[in-house]
Structure 1
Amino acid sequence: MRPSAAETARTLARGRLPGLVRFDDGLLGGLPVAGLQHATDGLGRPLLLAPAGEELATRLARTEGPVRLSLSVDDVPPRLGAPSLGRVRIVGDLHPVPPAETREAVLEYAVSSADPDLFDVGDRVAIHRLEPSRITLNRGGATEILDPAAYAAAEPDPLHECEQDLLHDLADHHLAQLEDYLRRLLDDPGAFANGSPQAMRLDRYGIVLDLSPAAGSGERRRWMRLEFARPVAGQHDLAHLLHPILCAHRRCDAEEE
């Protein structure tokens, strides 16, 4: 099993990655979200913080009613040469969060991103919600229009925020065990004689591995996806799931003695 398009879109939009806001009239061209932080609520609707004096707050103060805009977020692969998850683009109308819903919106924002500006919401910072009317995911040059209900029902990947650290840990501390496991899985004792496999992506459903030989060998790049027996709930659950995989050989038994 692999992440669905809706799950991938929710993961990208969550607020862990920088994004870009564009207004329909094109006057601002593109406004980096680094200057106006974003996250998503429990239904995946983007929440934008607009600190007083910044460009978005100034623009909203001059406009009556909702503002039509889009939020685009590109994946940032955790390792050089790793495949990208793509780009999510959410188009819709931006509305101020009503006062009666502000506390809940702040709490939902904090779940995605604990931004210090949240303490100033209602004072010098305003919080707005983007109501999606069109959601697309571009992967590998192909654009898919997502069903809004499927997007709202999907969950962001729980490993995304720590993916890079987990991949580094596999490379630094468990490469020998992973290589041994793959040799037995492929039934090829001579596999990887010209270079060790590298874990390049990690999600709740599995690991994407680069099985390419050493640079300069002239052989084609080979990819493999190692899928878990079940989706993992988080980093702690992942450790329990990987332990029998990485310690399936007698080497682990010897280390424990």
Structure 2
Amino acid sequence: MSVAPSPVLPQQTAAEQVRSVLARAISLSLTLDGQTYDLLGAHTVGARGRITLHPPADTPLTDHLDRAPLRTLDVRVDLTDIAPTALRDRVRARVALTGRLAPATPGDPGSLRLDLSRITLRTGTGTEEVAPAAYALAAPDPLALEEAALLTHLADAHPDLVSDLVVLAGSRLPHGVVRALPLAMDRHAVSLRCEYGEGHCDLRLLFPAEARDAATAGDMVRRLLTAPRCAHHHDHH
């Protein structure tokens, strides 16, 4: 007897997840020679994911950089992806970037580029290494910058829709859900966090079609409630 293979469910690649985390991040931590510095609004992400740091002047970090030989340094950059809704555990992913710092452009000591050598993505499902070449070729999810607004609007203005979406899981969802809130959204799906007395279950519901932008995403959420239930998928963590 042959068994049909499970369908490959559309989802972001690890490289796309890293690019999405970077696209919406406003802060990061920089570790240099054992010292860690928190930077807020002091980085930009350019073409092919090129990361440029803009350390604020007259800070311990700039003093440290001024003392470094040749301004070419081994560093680690850490970013934490936080859910915008009031979940118990709001950490969705952690990204660690290691590489070397060097002047971004000649004659501009205030900007440093990060030449990546290693990228690690850690989520609730495990840890994955991302090749720098794959990272450079990937693009952020088209909803990455608007995801927070979409999720908070869904949670605050449409709690009835959230409840209806949870019902889509039917008997596959364990009993005893205390609370359900939007967890994440990308072009392929919306994810809900179903919390219990202890622990939680993450429910990922595939859209009937890819969402190109915020307006399309809203339409996809509404269409989920009338789409065939066999198209839905859920993950337990």
In the alignment, residue 37 of structure 2 is paired with which amino acid? L
**Residue 88 (structure 1) shift:** 0.8
**Aligned position for 1:251:** none
Contact residue 155 and residue 162 of structure 2 kept, 8 A:
no
Query: Between Structure 1 and Structure 2, how many residues are aligned?
Result: 214
2:48 to 21, 43, 55: 43
In the alignment, residue 205 of structure 1 is paired with which amino acid? H
Secondary structure in structure 2 of the residue aligned to 1:86: strand
1:126 matches 2:110: yes
Contact residue 94 and residue 121 of structure 2 kept, 8 A:
yes
1:159 matches 2:159: no
More strand by share: 2
2:188 to 190, 205, 208: 205
Deviations 1:15-49 (A, max 9, x none): 624211011x32xx201112x71122221222100
Which aligned pairs between 1:168-207 and structure 2 lie closer than 5 A?
168-180=152-164, 183=167, 185-186=168-169, 197-207=180-190
RMSD over aligned CA atoms reads 3.2
Which aligned pairs between 1:54-203 and structure 2 lie closer than 5 A?
54-62=59-67, 63-79=69-85, 80-81=87-88, 84-99=91-106, 126-140=110-124, 142-180=126-164, 183=167, 185-186=168-169, 197-203=180-186
Contact residue 24 and residue 145 of structure 2 kept, 8 A:
no
In the alignment, residue 88 of structure 2 is paired with which amino acid? G
Using CA pairs under 8 Å that are at least 6 residues apart, name the structure with larger relative contact order, 1 or 2: 1
Secondary structure in structure 1 of the residue aligned to 2:62: helix
Secondary structure in structure 2 of the residue aligned to 1:237: helix
Instruction: Work out the CA distance in 1 between the residues paired with 2:88 and 2:179.
Output: 15
Residue segments in structure 1 that go unaligned for 5+ positions in a row? 103-121, 249-257
Contact residue 75 and residue 87 of structure 1 kept, 8 A:
yes
1:226 matches 2:231: no
In the alignment, residue 232 of structure 1 is paired with which amino acid? A
Contact residue 82 and residue 200 of structure 1 kept, 8 A:
no
Instruction: Work out the CA distance in 1 between the residues paired with 2:156 and 2:57.
Output: 45
TM-score normalised by L of structure 1: 0.69
Residue segments in structure 2 that go unaligned for 5+ positions in a row? 1-9, 228-237
Distance 1:96 1:76, change over 3 A: same
1:241 matches 2:220: yes
**Which of the pair has more CA radius of gyration?**
1
In the alignment, residue 133 of structure 2 is paired with which amino acid? A
**Aligned position for 1:14:** 23
Distance 1:131 1:174, change over 3 A: same
Percent identity over the alignment? Answer: 29
Distance 1:165 1:42, change over 3 A: same
More helix by share: 1
Secondary structure in structure 2 of the residue aligned to 1:39: strand
Contact residue 23 and residue 144 of structure 2 kept, 8 A:
no
